[in-house]
Amino acid sequence: MEQFEESNEELSDAIGDTTWSDRMTAEGLGAVQTAAKALVDAIHANYVPWSCEQTEKVEIETLPWIREHRPEWLEDPRSGVRSEGA
């Protein structure tokens, strides 16, 4: 529910006036809060964490690996120019 309240505040900051919940009836706001809580509860009740089984431990130097295997990661997405660190 904290995220619900935060989104309400963030939207009001973006709009520059009252929060969207201020423009709802008390009944409507209650319904939205109930639905949001039900969604969060359903996710928590049904989420099954999963992780990969570790089969091998490998240490790599990140920058040389990126230069060899993913040089496009070093490009500035705004200009398409490679960064100085590349």
Residue 41: predicted pLDDT: 92
pLDDT at position 63 over 70: yes
Assign 54 a pLDDT band (cuts: 50, 70, 90).
confident
Q: How far is CA 26 from the centre of its chain?
A: 29
Rounded CA separation 8/20 (Å): 6
User: Residue holding tokens 């570790």?
Assistant: 54
Q: pLDDT above 70 covers what percent of the chain?
A: 64
Spatial contact of 37 and 1, defined as CB atoms under 8 Å apart: yes
**Whole-model pTM over 0.85:** no
3-state secondary structure of 64: helix
Determine which helix (DSSP H) or strand (DSSP E) holds 70, and give its type and residue range.
Answer: none
